[in-house]
Amino acid sequence: MTAGPVNLETVRAAAERIAGGVRRTPVLKAAALREPPCSGQLFLKLECLQVTGSFKPRGALNKALGLEAPQRLTTASGGNHGLGVAYAASVLGVPATVFLPSSTPDAKAQKLRGWGATVEVRGAVFDEANEAALAYARAGDAVYVHPFADPAVVSGQGTLGLELLEDVCEVDTVLVAVGGGGLVAGVATALRAVKPSIRVIGVEPVGAPTLHDSLEAGALVTLEGIGTEAGTLAPLRSAQLNLELIAAGVDRIVLVDDGAMRKAARWLWFEAGVAAELSGAAALAALTAGAYKPATDERVVAIVCGAGSDGLG
């Protein structure tokens, strides 16, 4: 069991806390396919069918429900985490203010407003929007909900791993998209605590190898710039909490380019009728692009972590 602020107990507590507030998303066995993406048996964890369209409400709701009293929430986001926070705020009946970088698709901003959030656009990348959110929280009475470096958020994301093992108990390998590292850190912590032999493979964009490079360096790395359209997978820097959890629980991180993610998104739409955004298709892209090649008898789960249409363009 992983020691520290995120472990199997905190993930199980999160699962109890958010039960009824999030959906148990289905696992689809990828069968009867025109073009199989890999050898072995493939399963798709369709977290794109989660409320708001991504896994983010798991962590945001766990954080919000753990507060001593309902409070105004704020955060920065490439879109999906902001939607998770807006949803959590709606459950608590409190306001939410979400700071977005200018690169965020307008459709995400409109969806945030639809969930009742106040939207503020600051800076060109997540890290700049995040500075504005932190300043807003310091200046007022809002609780800042970090997208990936809060133990409560990471534990909430880890609940996905517990569900997955209940539905595919004989899984050998799980592929997880990596942005700031909250999802892969939480999922890896849960999976490895229950089944130590499981392989966890992170998948990051070539144009934003934040944690890939940090693992290679053995310390947090700050990227000089971002070169991917998958904005929800593109912070300039992660956090020590995530790096430590990933170093302990993730076997390795592979890189895929935007073209591979787009091809995987189109595969999902053609073969399964699933509309995934670029980041949502990243885990599958590791298979379709050959960045991870499973054995013929390997049981692989790819987490489709976000819905959208940008991958179909």
Q: Flag whether the pTM goes above 0.85.
A: yes
The torsion region of residue 131 among left (phi > 0), alpha (psi -120 to 50) and beta comes to alpha
CB 233 within 8 A of CB 178: yes
State both tokens at 299: 């049981």
Say which residue the tokens 């360096």 belong to: 217
CB 78 within 8 A of CB 231: yes
Instruction: Decide the pairing of beta strands 96-100 and 118-121.
Output: parallel
Query: How far is the C-alpha of 300 from the C-alpha of 288, rounded, in Å?
Result: 13
The domains located in the chain, with CATH, are 8-55+150-312 (3.40.50.1100), 56-144 (3.40.50.1100)
- The alpha carbon of 202 is separated from its chain's Cα centroid by a whole number of angstroms, namely 11
- Crossing angle of helices 106-114/80-92, nearest 10°? 0
State both tokens at 128: 């700049």
pLDDT, position 31: 82
Q: Kind and range of the H or E element at 240?
A: helix 240-249
Which pLDDT tens digits describe the chain residue by residue (313 residues)? 334 699 999 999 999 999 999 999 999 998 878 888 887 899 999 999 999 999 999 999 999 999 988 889 999 987 899 999 999 999 999 999 999 989 888 888 999 999 999 999 999 888 899 999 999 999 987 999 999 999 999 999 999 999 999 999 899 999 999 999 999 999 999 999 999 999 999 999 999 999 999 999 999 999 999 999 998 898 899 999 999 999 999 999 999 999 999 999 999 999 999 999 999 999 999 999 999 999 999 999 999 999 988 777 6
pLDDT, position 4: 61
Query: How far is the C-alpha of 148 from the C-alpha of 241, rounded, in Å?
Result: 9
Neighbours of 177 (CB within 10 A): 31
State both tokens at 58: 């798991």
Which of the 8 DSSP states describes residue 66? T
Query: How far is the C-alpha of 71 from the C-alpha of 150, rounded, in Å?
Result: 17
